[in-house]
Amino acid sequence: MNKFIVSTDCVVFGRDKNNKVNLLLIKRKSDTFDGYWALPGGMVEDFESVDDSAKRELEEETGLSTVFLEQLYTFGDLGRDPRGRVVSVAYYALLNIGDLELKPDTDASDAQWFPLNNLPEKLAFDHDKIITTALNRLRGKINYFPLVFELLPEEFTIEEVREIYSDILNQDLDRRNFSRKLKSTGCLIHLDKKKKVLVGKPPTLYKFDYEECEENGFNITL
């Protein structure tokens, strides 16, 4: 009987106050990859499913329990962890950072949000590969699944949605065409409220209509 350690790693995407997408990394304080930035994660325990383990680790890091979390891919190469045979099930999570206070884990000296276009060069283990996989998944899936609303607050403006799409896809999107496409999904609830702004015309606030989406799906191909 061959038994392995099974761990989870989580690619956590968070939206900051400037409506930019960031990635959460932990600075390792450990005998392996000391000082390197790494994805949050940890070992799966006996009493929990792999999914629950990822959820637990994420809660311990962020204090949030209701974030979107989805399995990404499993990394099981020999030698991916110098300490021994570790199979890692990777997840990705989406959340709105808000005023979230990070609680660094015990084996980490620091936790930090990095903007997508400014990630550290060298990461621990095969975590760069995991991040690339997560980004590709995200870029593909936002076309047919309402992932970006997991990053936004409950009430948002169309411009905020567009900026998130732009940031993730790393390309400009025409403001008018985007607005039309987003509305044509039929999954927006128009609120009779405007967002308070410092300058310019106050934009309309919307909520995402999860029921409608459940019934008729979501598609916004850019």
Partner DNA sequence: ACAAAAGTGTTAGATCTACACCCATGA
Partner DNA sequence: TCATGGGTGTAGATCTAACACTTTTGT
Q: Which residues bind DNA (CB under 7 A)?
A: 157-159, 174-177, 179-181, 194, 197-204, 221-222
Q: Which does 78 bind (CB under 5 to 8 A by kind): a second copy, DNA, none?
A: a second copy
- Using CB under 8 A, which of 34, 35, 48, 186 touches a second copy? 48
Give me 130's structure tokens: 């995991």
Q: Which does 85 bind (CB under 5 to 8 A by kind): a second copy, DNA, none?
A: a second copy
Going by C-alpha positions, the residue among 86, 53, 80, 67 that lies closest to residue 12 is: 67
- Using CB under 8 A, which of 32, 34, 60, 77 touches a second copy? 77
Going by C-alpha positions, the residue among 142, 130, 117 that lies closest to residue 80 is: 130
- Using CB under 8 A, which of 58, 89, 134, 220 touches a second copy? 89
Q: How many residues bind a second copy (CB under 8 A)?
A: 24
Q: Which does 199 bind (CB under 5 to 8 A by kind): a second copy, DNA, none?
A: DNA
- Residue 25 CB neighbour total at 10 angstroms: 25
Q: Which does 202 bind (CB under 5 to 8 A by kind): DNA, a second copy, none?
A: DNA
Dihedral angle over CA of 18, 23, 27, 31, nearest 10: 180
* Helices marked H in 29-184: 50-62, 127-141, 158-169, 175-184
Give me 103's structure tokens: 């609680």
What is the Rg, in whole angstroms, of the alpha carbon atoms belonging to the chain?
Answer: 19
Pick the closer one to DNA by CB: 83 or 176: 176
Pick the closer one to a second copy by CB: 36 or 73: 73
- Residue 27 CB neighbour total at 10 angstroms: 19
Q: Give the C-alpha separation, 54 to 70, whole Å.
A: 9
Pick the closer one to DNA by CB: 54 or 158: 158
Q: How far is CA 108 from CA 77, 183, 198, in A?
A: 24, 43, 39
Pick the closer one to DNA by CB: 78 or 198: 198
Pick the closer one to a second copy by CB: 20 or 141: 141
Which residues of this chain interact with a second copy, rule CB under 8 A?
A: 1-6, 43-51, 71, 73-74, 76-78, 85, 87, 89
